[in-house]
Structure 1
Amino acid sequence: MGKVFGAHAVSVDGYITGAGPGPGHGLGDGGSLFDWYFAGDTPSAVFDGFKLSEPSARVFDDVAGRVGAVVAGRNTYEDSDRFGGGSPHPTAPLVLLSHRPAPGITDRQTLVTTGIEDAVAAARGIAGDKDVTLMGGGVLTEGLKAGLVDEVVLHQVPVLLGGGRPFFQALPAHVRLRLLEVVPAPGVTHLRYAVEN
């Protein structure tokens, strides 16, 4: 069975979007968080069109290549225009965690309405031996609260956004992390942590 992890580009002050995120404007005014996807000359082996610096490509493709299923929350799903009926990952199917019906869901997506434990279980069933990634701050926070998360990967971009959607919501009193890897790269520092429950 694979691991469960969360990975996201995040500002130094902890935001995964700029101010004003919403449908059709999923990143709010924080589009610079993903400039490093296109700031190099090394093509991603997983995502077509991404050209990263060599260190970023190595880290990004290692993380993306592990993914067998994606669990996303409703805000991420709607703000991302429902991923066009597919998934944010080119090969890993989407499991949508929502507490209300999702009329736009397609047969390439799985809706779970009964909580994070069931969403992760469904994603594990899809992923097989590969990993499950939790996409969005709410889903990652719920996974941490439930003790389901093995790793957190932060692609920290050197910008202070001053507002937007924070990566973490209200967490348990303490979640201890152990630093596993730090990879500096142009426009981003990649940080990988183990969650110590």
Structure 2
Amino acid sequence: MGTVIMHHVVSVDGFIADEHDNVGPLFDWYTSGDTPVTETDESRAGNDTRVSAASAPYVRSMWAGIGAIVMGRNLFDLTNGWEGRPPAGDHVVVVSHRPKPEGWHPEASYHFVDNVKDAIAKAQELAGDRIIAVNGGEVGGQILAAGLVDEVAMDVVPVVFGSGKRYFGGIDTQHLLEDPHVVIQGDRVLHLKFKVRR
């Protein structure tokens, strides 16, 4: 089975968006560099992504390894599911008590399940040995709390939000991580990866 990695861009004080789901400058580093992450491919969301030379190998490796993304319904609704073309991976699993919108991109491999354990099981089935990327926020926090996350990856941007939507959602229990095994300083972003201590 593939590694389950909780991954998101985050402010220095631990927020992935403000109270109104605005991300401010969190994703500016994705378009301010001079190195393309992927070859131009109109079938993918984020195909204009250009990062610094320091960030490019890390981002390329992460994106290339992803087989499935697990996200919450809030992010699905905000992005309209990237119009059925996720930035990485071939499959998306949405944790939601509501079904896929009727008629929404029937060709897209998007699967709607109503709890986090079933979401990870479905993502593992779809991804095989590839990475399962779990978005931060409430659903990501629930998956971590359920003991289903293997690694935490954070792209830390030098901005302080003060309040908003937390990277780990409403998680209220302590979880130990190992020392970071990846530390890469990009331009306006610090990439960190930690294994979850078992």
User: What is the TM-score of this pair, normalised by structure 1?
Assistant: 0.88
Task: Report if the CA contact (8 A) 1:76-1:136 is conserved.
Answer: no
| Structure 1: runs of 5 or more not aligned | 22-27
1:99 matched to 2:92? The reply is no
Give the drift of 1:173.
Answer: 2.5
Query: Distance in 2 between the 1:180 and 1:194 partners?
Result: 8
Query: Distance in 2 between the 1:182 and 1:136 partners?
Result: 19
Query: Distance in 2 between the 1:161 and 1:69 partners?
Result: 29
1:53 matched to 2:43? The reply is no
- For 1:37-75, what per-residue CA distance to the aligned partner results, in whole angstroms no more than 9, with x for missing partners? 112111103752111101111111111111000111111
Amino acid at match of 2:28: D
Task: Report if the CA contact (8 A) 2:64-2:88 is conserved.
Answer: no
Identity of aligned residues (%): 36
Task: Report if the CA contact (8 A) 2:11-2:161 is conserved.
Answer: yes
Query: Distance in 2 between the 1:148 and 1:87 partners?
Result: 26
Amino acid at match of 1:182: V
Match of 2:34 among 41, 44, 54: 41
SS at match of 2:13: coil
Which residue in the other structure is 1:24 paired with?
Answer: none
1:164-175 aligned at under 5 Å gives the runs 164-175=164-175
1:70 matched to 2:84? The reply is no
Which residue in the other structure is 1:159 paired with?
Answer: 159
Aligned pairs, how many? 188
Give the drift of 1:103.
Answer: 2.5
Which residue in the other structure is 1:25 paired with?
Answer: none
Query: Distance in 1 between the 2:81 and 2:64 partners?
Result: 22
Give the drift of 1:136.
Answer: 3.2
Give the drift of 1:2.
Answer: 1.0
Which residue in the other structure is 2:111 paired with?
Answer: 110
Query: Distance in 2 between the 1:123 and 1:82 partners?
Result: 16
User: What is the TM-score of this pair, normalised by structure 2?
Assistant: 0.88
Query: Distance in 2 between the 1:44 and 1:74 partners?
Result: 27
Which residue in the other structure is 2:186 paired with?
Answer: 185
Which residue in the other structure is 1:89 paired with?
Answer: 87
Query: Distance in 2 between the 1:60 and 1:120 partners?
Result: 23
| Structure 2: runs of 5 or more not aligned | 40-45
Task: Report if the CA contact (8 A) 2:139-2:169 is conserved.
Answer: no
